[in-house]
Structure 1
Amino acid sequence: MNETVVTDARGAALPPAPGADRHTSLDFADTTATLPAGQSYDLLAAPDSAMRWLALHDLTTPEVRLYEVCAQRMRTLRDHVRALFTARVDGTTPPEKSLRAVNEALTALPTAPLLAWDGAQGPRRVQAHPTDQAVNHALATLAADAADLLTGPDADLLAACGSAPCDRFLLRTHGRRHWCSTRCGDRARAARAYARRSRAPDDAPRPSVPRDAAVHR
């Protein structure tokens, strides 16, 4: 069955996963998700929705307008961040291209304040990001946050949602919780309850036979 992608996903999107308030890169990775019944959503599927996401996270200014090439760059970096998160959760080696992509995003902008000069104020240093570099600034910020998450104390809390088919990430907040939302938790518990109720009779334990029982022919 073909997967149905919800492009305007504001109504379909799950609430932020635990830890998204501490790491913007976690919420960035979770801007796409797989839903039951062969559906999924993508909050970066179009320039307008990508712009809304950036504005919501204070990563751009109102006068900036995105084009499809900008949204595509965001989706590409998201795929690489997700690959790094998956490798951390699974304990595997991430793709070299994903490491390279995050490092390229980190170094796309100068870290030192730039030199500005005008007649009223003369020379001064400014941390300016021209409009044409707005996406570079946003991606650099997201890449830096992902690197901080993967190398900081929260790295051991990073987990994948344990309620199939959801493929979002989260930070475990207590115990061994691996659900990114109440909706996923309810679905996982319902699936387990259904599995218990629908066990075949052959799976039930059989009564034991006394050792001294005789078989009469």
Structure 2
Amino acid sequence: MEETVTTDAALPPAPGEEQYPCLALANSAIALPGGHTDLLATPAKTNHWLTEHGLAPVDIDMREMCAAQLRSLREQIRSLFASATAGLPALPAALAAVNDALTRVPTAPLLLWDHKNGPYRAAPHPTTEIVDHALATLAANAADLLTGPDAERLTACDSTPCNRYLLRHGRRHWCSTRCGDRARAARAYARRTQSKAD
């Protein structure tokens, strides 16, 4: 049975997370050598994560049903990233989930009317639709990443057991210095044991 890591600040953001919040979402379930952590494990953690990424106000009353929707979208986005990085076709369920999230809220600013200032346009964002808005924003961001110029840079961290995704810069295939050090140490150990076996 896997142990749960208690600290949520186990790793710094992976390269690309600041530009693509969908990467941060995909990386919110983190596998580490000592166990794993889920930054969306509870409604309170989910609210905190959404707030940190500018997708929800601090004071919303997050419910488990909403947190579960975000965790579900995370798994579907991870599935799409896995397909993209392996050069495999996407699972239809993952595509359907992302497309469903994309269509949950209107994308065009609506025409509204203020009694004092007259007509103006604004995107609707009522409190009851905060989670739908976050899901749509993250799904659109994932679609932009997968279809944009950065798609070819998307890769999985090359350090076992890490399960995070990143945008590759040069030859770097690790999401953090810690993962890079662990991968180099594992390769050095493998070389030493191989030379002793020969």
**TM-score, structure 1 normalization:** 0.85
CA distance in 1 between counterparts of 2:47 and 2:100 reads: 22
Residue 41 of structure 1, CA deviation: 0.7
CA distance in 2 between counterparts of 1:123 and 1:160 reads: 47
- Residue 4 of structure 1: SS of its match in structure 2? coil
Q: Pairwise mapping of residues 42-61 of structure 1 onto structure 2 (< 5 A)?
A: 42-61=38-57
Counterpart position of 1:178? 173
- Give the AA of the match of 1:196: R
Q: Which has the higher helix share?
A: 2
CA distance in 1 between counterparts of 2:159 and 2:144 reads: 27
Report the aligned-residue RMSD. 1.6
**Matching of residue 3 in structure 1 with residue 2 in structure 2:** yes
- Give the AA of the match of 2:28: T
Residue 108 of structure 1, CA deviation: 0.4
Q: Which has the larger radius of gyration?
A: 1
Counterpart position of 1:28? 25
CA distance in 1 between counterparts of 2:185 and 2:122 reads: 55
Counterpart position of 1:147? 143
Residue 137 of structure 1, CA deviation: 0.4
* CA contact 1:117–1:123 (8 Å) conserved in 2: yes
Bigger mean CA deviation after superposition, 108-117 or 20-29 = 108-117
Counterpart position of 2:13? 16
- Give the AA of the match of 1:171: L
* CA contact 1:70–1:135 (8 Å) conserved in 2: yes
Where structure 1 has 5 or more consecutive residues not aligned to the other structure, the ranges are: 205-217
- Residue 79 of structure 1: SS of its match in structure 2? helix
* CA contact 1:81–1:146 (8 Å) conserved in 2: yes
CA distance in 2 between counterparts of 1:120 and 1:143 reads: 36
Q: Pairwise mapping of residues 13-162 of structure 1 onto structure 2 (< 5 A)?
A: 13-37=10-34, 39-117=35-113, 119-121=115-117, 124-162=120-158
* CA contact 2:80–2:94 (8 Å) conserved in 1: yes
* CA contact 1:25–1:145 (8 Å) conserved in 2: yes
Where structure 2 has 5 or more consecutive residues not aligned to the other structure, the ranges are: none
* CA contact 2:21–2:141 (8 Å) conserved in 1: yes
Residue 124 of structure 1, CA deviation: 4.2
- Give the AA of the match of 1:21: E
Identity of aligned residues (%): 52
**Count of residue pairs brought into register by the alignment:** 198
CA distance in 1 between counterparts of 2:137 and 2:68 reads: 17
* CA contact 1:9–1:43 (8 Å) conserved in 2: no
Residue 20 of structure 1, CA deviation: 1.0
CA distance in 2 between counterparts of 1:78 and 1:14 reads: 18
CA distance in 2 between counterparts of 1:144 and 1:196 reads: 44
- Residue 142 of structure 1: SS of its match in structure 2? helix
- Residue 98 of structure 2: SS of its match in structure 1? helix
- Residue 58 of structure 2: SS of its match in structure 1? coil
Residue 73 of structure 1, CA deviation: 0.5
